[in-house]
Structure 1
Amino acid sequence: MTSDRERFVELLSKLVDGSMDSRDRKQLRELLHKEPHWRSEYANYYQIHALLHWQHASQLDESGEEGTNSRSDGRLSEKLTRWTWAAAAAVGAIAATVLLSMSLMEDSPGPVASVTPQPLGFQVLSVEGVPQGPQLVSYSPDQRYTSDRIAIEGGVLRLRMDSGPVVRLIGPSEVEFLDSARMRMLKGKLTARVEEGDEKLIVETIHTRIVDLGTEFGVDLAEPTHTDVVVFEGAVELRERGDLTDGPAHTVLREGEAASINDQMQVRRIENVVMQEQEASWTTKTVNSASVIHSVRDNTRDPSSMFYYRIVPGGMHEDATAYVAKRHQWNSLEDRGIPKWLEGADLVETFGGDRSNSDLEIDVRLREPGMLYVMYHTRNAPPRWLTDSFQDTGFEIGMEYPRGLETGIPMNVGAGQGRLLPFRVWQRRVAASETVTLGAPEQANENGDSMMYGFVAKGLSSEDL
């Protein structure tokens, strides 16, 4: 019985002498998936073959004979000069190495355009500002459609796939359906929510495959150099485009994490995600956001840390979320509510786990003059970086400390409700483009209490300037 190794060598020979048929090509692709370390050997083998052709052509050139260049697909055959033939043979073979490597090493996802889109049924749930026109498909709410692709020039189209997931396309966007639960994103931005009982959703881009694990996540392909992925709930796997296996994923992103992936499958943390609560919109491009906060950066260098700071313009109000991927909420301690000078400020959700990070430094930059407010747990002595640079307002706000999900006890709603921990509010006036560095929280006191602080920012009114 022929071993995989022997069959691989045999298939390489068929590849270079042109005798490979479709079954051979399929088997070679399967072997390259099964044995990834053979891929470089495959590429080297083909390049050596190209160089031998070039050397042979040079010898023919010296003997005064003409060479003939024939494309492998048989569509073009012409006589070239001896030097052109030699160069074309080598360059063409090396180029074929790259192209064949792409088609052979990446299975059905292939190069992004290699899989034929399939018609899929979906129901439109809502349409907001999507342009209409004679060359554009008109979508109407509560209508069912069947198509292999969706393209919108602007606005927002929200739909439910027949397999269950709800997808929100933000235009300009274009996607193709590859099967009932797999789509290829060609451009734009989307948010997908997959509930229990829905079929697993896979979103492919030119950089990665995103496999949902029961979640709500966003994908942004606004730029050709990278794909941004943000997880709002649950988790997703990031896989190489040709990885159709059930083996370990390249990267797993969980709730509150975001990453940018390039075509080399290099994964980089995204530190800021700006979200509008009411509109359910989001962006990783803080430069163009409506927030008074320009950016939030920290000194975390752990490559496994992919948490983002969630910036919510105008998000400071009763029951506002305090931490990324946690249920803690900001509430006034009394039923009279949050004071006007604090209400409506741009909120930053921090990381609850940083309460024990003694080396933490957070750089906050505002895009316009404003007030920066820090909410600090009163059970811990305020650190020097806070007392030296901020002024105590004398006001305290509460953080609702939630009970475990396993208890089934819901969060309380409204001012003065729930298990509230007191936080003192400190303030500092900040100039436009000024960067303020926040330090580490004080470590746990004798009672073991320690809580991560929060912060918000609010632009100054014309009277304050």
Structure 2
Amino acid sequence: MSMPPEESRRFDVIHELVTRQLDGTASEADEQQLHDAVTNDAEMRNGYIRYMQELTHITARLVHPKTPNDFSKSSVLAATTTDQPRVTENSPIIATPPNTGAASNPFSSWMITASVLAASVLLIISFAVQSGVRLGEEHDIPFDAGRQLAASDSPKSLDGIEVATLTECINVKWDSKRNAVEELSRVAVGQKLELREGRIKLVFDTGVEALVLAPCLLKLQDRNRVYCTYGRITAKASEGGKGFEIETPVARVTDLGTEFGIAISDTGETEVAVFEGEVDVELGSANQRSLPGRIAKKEHLVQGQATLVDHQGQSRRVFSIDNQRMPGVRDLAPLHHDQPVISAVRDNISERQPESRMFYRIVHAGLREDSRAFIDREHQWNGIAPEGMPRELLGADYVMPFNDDKFVGDLRVQVSIARPSTVYIFFDNNTQPPEWLTSEFVDTGLRIGLDEGANRFKPKKKVAVGPAASIDNTFSIWKRFVDNPQEIELGSFERPTDFKRSYNMYGIAAVARSKP
């Protein structure tokens, strides 16, 4: 079947530009032309996505002719991690030429190409999100019959309207082959996504990225709302994605421009944690919230706060959340895959502040340059010299406490250590080491730096990238050996007498070691 002339022209342009980039002959002008085409021209972008879908499907058949449905991004990740350029938010949208070194599989370059193309879809949509472009409106990827989604539309009238793109599938097993969704497919209102294993990423036309982890049952209700019966979802919204809602059996969470995570148990109990920005949480099921005479209960959560909602619509504090169970949408991969060392963190703050909702974030195997130091600040850990932070710390489990802990005079923090390990405390050199630190830990003589981000005193402050680039405070590194699984207790410290000197909460990290 022949294409209409205009569609054929677009296809030829896309094919030529992508081919040049894949064979390494593209000029900067070619790269810019493709970048401009897919970000400024709705029809060109739509054609580009279709082109890559078709090429990926063809590649799948070439690589696995007997089992075409087995081809997914997970099968080519290893091939694409070597010598590929680092992608940043400002990177141009290009299909990068594959590494064409010797390979035992004659189709390996095709596999790399397919992975690059799949990643390019996400880059395109991410660029549109960052630029404020709203996909799926009249000027962009059209809905059925060119209809706009209006707030007054009923769920039934919206069924079948495409509102998001499934941009990534990793080790996914669907509940059935009939309900399986291929990578790079569009998904529609009324569609159920039920994962038994693995994870997927959805990019909504409104500008919301959602990471969905199995086991999970999710239904799309409209362009900016989903219902999740059970499972885990992390959502990151751009300016255009504000108002994104996740309904659960016991709560409704509304995004106010943020990144947040939700974990829903088999019984419906719902944990909500805010990594950036803020959300509103309406407590109770939809039926409970609609009871006559009922006064709606709502919690407003900001960065660094979390809550657990039960079946009665009551909430309580969540003390700690680890990044394996509730990862961020764009979290970096762990530096190794050993079993976790730090399993939980608690404190005594709720004893006198029951309304507290602050949580400790545990990051497994994640300590590296530019790691975020505190859950309620943008500060980062960095090496104080160009060589970077001490090597023994790289890949450590670490805790993001909340920096405001430094104001709590009788603080007690319990850290659950799951295996024999070396536990490290990063202690601010602007403060006097307390007795609990000097008696239980040893100063290693090593130092680590803190690159401070924006705060209420310095709202325009920005962090830099890499070691030694912007060190505002230095911390002494103290260590303690733990031979068996146990809970260790950390305490508070005195404020410096010179109030002109800034100071920060201590950091916590741990590295597994062989039992002596």
Q: Same fold (TM over 0.5)?
A: yes
Residue 370 of structure 1: aligned partner? 421
Q: Which runs of structure 2 are paired with 1:80-99 in the superposition (5 Å)?
A: none
Shift of 1:437: 0.9
Aligned to 1:327, which of 375, 378, 382? 378
Distance verdict in 2 for CA 1:266–1:248, change over 3 Å = closer
1:203 to 224, 234, 246: 246
CA deviation map 1:368-393 (0-9, x unaligned)? 11111111111211111111111111
Kindly provide the amino acid, as one letter, of the partner of residue 456 in structure 1: A
Distance 1:292 1:250, change over 3 A: same
Q: For the residues of structure 2 that align with 1:355 and 1:199, how far apart are their CA atoms?
A: 33
**In 2: Cα distance, 1:364 partner to 1:281 partner:** 26
Of 290, 295, 299, the residue aligned with 2:344 is 295
After superposition, give the CA deviation of every residue in 1:274-319 in whole Å (9 maximum; x if it has no partner).
Answer: 115998599xxxxxx9420122111111122111111111222211
Is 2:482 aligned against 1:430?
A: yes
Residue in 2 that maps onto 1:380: 431
Distance 2:249 2:174 in 1: 28
2:227 to 167, 184, 204: 184
- Taking the TM superposition and a 5 Å limit, the aligned residue runs for 1:90-129 are 118-121=159-162, 122-129=164-171
* Structure having the higher Rg: 1
Distance 1:169 1:340 in 2: 33
Cα pair 2:174 2:194 within 8 Å, conserved: no
Equivalent pair of 1:441/1:453 in contact (CA under 8 Å): no
- Is the CA contact (8 Å cut-off) linking 1:256 and 1:324 kept in structure 2? yes
Listed as ranges, the matches of 1:343-358 within 5 Å are: 343-358=394-409
1:445 aligns with 2:494: no
Give me the whole-angstrom Cα distance separating, in 2, the residues matched to 1:244 and 1:132.
34
Alignment of structure 1 residues 138-149 onto 2, 5 Å: 138-148=180-190, 149=192
Could you tell me the percent identity over the aligned residues? 29
> What is the CA–CA distance in structure 2 between the aligned matches of 1:203 and 1:134, rounded to whole Å?
24
Matched residue type, 2:506: Y
Partner of 2:130: none
State TM-score, norm by structure 1: 0.68
Following superposition, the deviation at residue 394 of structure 1 comes to: 1.3
SS at 1:154 equivalent: strand
Summarize the Cα distance change of 1:421–1:157 in structure 2 as closer, same or farther, 3 Å threshold: same
- 3-state SS of 1:326 partner: coil
Equivalent residue for 1:49?
Answer: none
Structure 2 matches for 1:146-165, cutoff 5 A? 146-148=188-190, 149-165=192-208
Report the Cα offset of residue 206 of structure 1: 1.2
> Does the aligned pair in 2 maintain the 1:369–1:430 contact within 8 Å?
yes
**Residue 396 in structure 1 maps to residue 451 in structure 2:** no
Determine the structure 1 residue equivalent to 2:305.
Answer: 257
* Matched residue type, 2:482: V
Shift of 1:120: 4.0
| 3-state SS of 1:402 partner | coil
Q: Structure 1 residues 194 and 281 mapped into 2: Cα distance closer, same or farther (>3 Å)?
A: closer
Answer yes or no: is the 8 Å Cα contact 2:219–2:228 preserved in 1: yes
Give yes or no for the alignment of 1:227 onto 2:270. yes
Please give the alpha-carbon distance, in whole angstroms, between the structure 2 residues aligned to 1:348 and 1:290. Answer: 16
Query: Whole-Å Cα distance in 2 between the matches of residues 170 and 436 of structure 1?
Result: 32
| Alpha-carbon shift at residue 267 of structure 1 (Å) | 0.7
Cα distance, 1:446 vs structure 2: 2.5
Distance 1:451 1:297, change over 3 A: same
Residue 429 of structure 1 aligns with an amino acid whose one-letter code is F
User: For residues 61-76 of structure 1, what are the structure 2 equivalents within 5 Å?
Assistant: none
Q: Using the TM superposition, name which of 297-306 and 337-346 deviates more.
A: 337-346
3-state secondary structure, aligned to 2:200:
strand
SS of the equivalent of 1:344 reads: coil
| Partner in structure 2 of residue 103 of structure 1 | none
Q: Provide, for residues 65-98 of structure 1, a one-character-per-residue CA deviation record: whole Å limited to 9, x for no partner.
A: xxxxxxxxxxxxxxxxxxxxxxxxxxxxxxxxxx
Unaligned runs of 5+ in 2: 1-154, 332-337
The alignment status of 1:420 with 2:463, answered yes or no, reads no
Contact 1:119 1:177 in 2 (8 A): no
How much has 1:447 moved relative to structure 2? 3.7
SS at match of 1:386: helix
When normalised by structure 2's length, the TM-score is 0.61
CA drift of 1:183 comes to 1.9
Counterpart of 2:473, as a letter, is: L
2-structure distance, mates of 1:313, 1:260: 22
Per-residue CA deviations over 1:306-333 (Å, capped at 9, x if unaligned) read: 1111111122221111111211111121
Offset, 1:184: 1.5
Alpha-carbon RMSD: 2.9
Structure 2 distance, partners of 1:209, 1:145, is 22
* 3-state SS of paired residue (1:388): helix
Per the TM alignment, residue 239 of structure 1 is displaced from its structure 2 partner at its CA by 0.9
- 1:125 aligned partner, one-letter code: T
Rounded to whole Å, the distance in 1 between the matches of 2:225 and 2:290 is 12
Name whichever of 257-266 and 133-142 sits farther off. Answer: 133-142
The answer to whether structure 1 residue 217 and structure 2 residue 268 are counterparts is no
Q: Deviations over 1:383-412 (max 9, x none)?
A: 111111111111121111235598655311
Deviation at 1:272, TM superposition (A): 1.1
Distance 2:491 2:346 in 1: 12
Q: Secondary structure at the match of 1:325?
A: coil
Aligned length: 344
For residues 354-378 of structure 1, what are the alpha-carbon distances to aligned partners after superposition, in whole Å with 9 as ceiling and x for unaligned? 1111010001121111111111111
CA contact under 8 A between 2:323 and 2:364: conserved in structure 1? yes
Segments of 5+ residues of structure 1 without an aligned counterpart are: 1-114, 283-288
**1:379 aligned counterpart, secondary structure:** coil
| 2:437 match: secondary structure | helix
The answer on whether the counterparts of 2:429 and 2:476 sit within 8 Å (CA) in structure 1 is: yes
2:358 aligned with 1:307: yes
Gap change, CA 1:181 and 1:279, over 3 Å in 2: closer
CA distance in 2, matches of 1:353, 1:313: 23
Distance 1:183 1:123 in 2: 14
SS for the counterpart of 2:387 is coil
Indicate conservation of the 8 Å contact 2:208/2:237, yes or no: yes
Alpha-carbon distance change, 354 to 215 in structure 1, aligned in 2, over 3 angstroms: same
Q: Which consecutive aligned stretches of 4+ in structure 1 deviate over 3 angstroms post-superposition? A: 115-120, 132-136, 240-245, 276-282, 403-410, 447-450
